């Protein structure tokens, strides 16, 4: 039994040494890459040879993009490969609503995904905005449509002001409306 435990210690000791050396190499690579990133703007600006003063880049984080545009009736941010995004787009087309679709898989929109998660606190596709207000994903859009409120939600404030002060909400009947509830049989 003692030989087995010594053998195990040798194997574990060798694995730990290998792991430590690999972690050390990765850390060195990261430090080198970080130094390159930090040194590049300063060295690039002075080596231009144009005689101008080197430009100083600010250390402030980039400005977040405008995610919901109140000027647009509806915006859908999603991926073409996502079935829920497809359902949201199909619902809007079926309702005849005007909307803008932003494909998050497109190279120019890749950075929007992280901003959408931060701003909406939602980690799933699609992200639906009506008049600049985040309403949710497909299920929320479907519920708004089912309640007959999609056209109201897509109105501008001026259009809403012209509408009567009380908006009637009608709940659309479901397919199983003729079924008796359980226990009433």
Does 11 reside within a domain? yes
For residue 75, give the nearest of 111, 118, 122, 116 by alpha carbon: 116
pLDDT tens for 121-133 read: 889 999 999 998 9
Handedness of CA 174, 97, 140, 107 (dihedral sign): positive
| 151 plus 81 within the same structural domain | yes
pLDDT tens for 142-162 read: 999 998 889 888 988 888 888
Neighbours of 64 (CB within 10 A): 12
Where is pLDDT greater, at 8 or 67?
A: 67
Q: Is the pLDDT of residue 45 over 50?
A: no
Domain carrying residue 9: 1-42
Does 181 reside within a domain? no
- Percent of the chain exceeding pLDDT 90 equals 30
Judge residue 101's burial from the number of C-beta atoms within 10 Å of its C-beta, 0-12 exposed, 13-18 middle, 19 or more buried: middle
Where is pLDDT greater, at 7 or 83?
A: 83
Does 167 reside within a domain? no
| 154 plus 87 within the same structural domain | yes
| 109 plus 153 within the same structural domain | yes
Q: Which pTM was predicted?
A: 0.56
* Total tally of structural domains belonging to the chain: 2
Q: Is the pLDDT of residue 89 over 80?
A: yes
Does 111 reside within a domain? yes
Does 58 reside within a domain? no
pLDDT tens for 166-179 read: 556 655 655 665 66
């Amino acid at each position: 039994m003692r030989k087995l435990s010594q053998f195990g210690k040798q194997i574990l000791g060798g694995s730990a040494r290998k792991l430590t050396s690999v972690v050390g190499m990765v850390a060195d690579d990261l430090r080198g890459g970080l130094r390159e990133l930090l040194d590049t703007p300063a060295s690039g600006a002075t080596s231009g040879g144009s005689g101008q003063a080197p430009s100083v880049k600010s250390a402030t984080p980039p400005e977040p993009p405008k995610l919901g545009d109140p000027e647009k009736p509806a915006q859908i941010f999603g991926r073409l490969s996502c079935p829920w995004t497809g359902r949201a787009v199909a619902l809007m087309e079926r309702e005849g609503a005007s909307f803008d679709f932003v494909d998050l898989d497109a190279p120019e929109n890749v950075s929007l995904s992280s901003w959408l998660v931060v701003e909406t606190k939602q980690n799933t596709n699609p992200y639906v905005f009506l008049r600049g207000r985040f309403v949710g994903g497909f299920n929320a859009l479907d519920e708004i449509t089912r309640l007959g409120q999609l056209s109201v939600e897509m109105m501008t404030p001026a259009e809403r002001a012209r509408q009567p002060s009380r908006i009637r909400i009608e709940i659309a009947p479901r397919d199983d409306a003729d079924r008796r509830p359980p226990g009433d049989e």
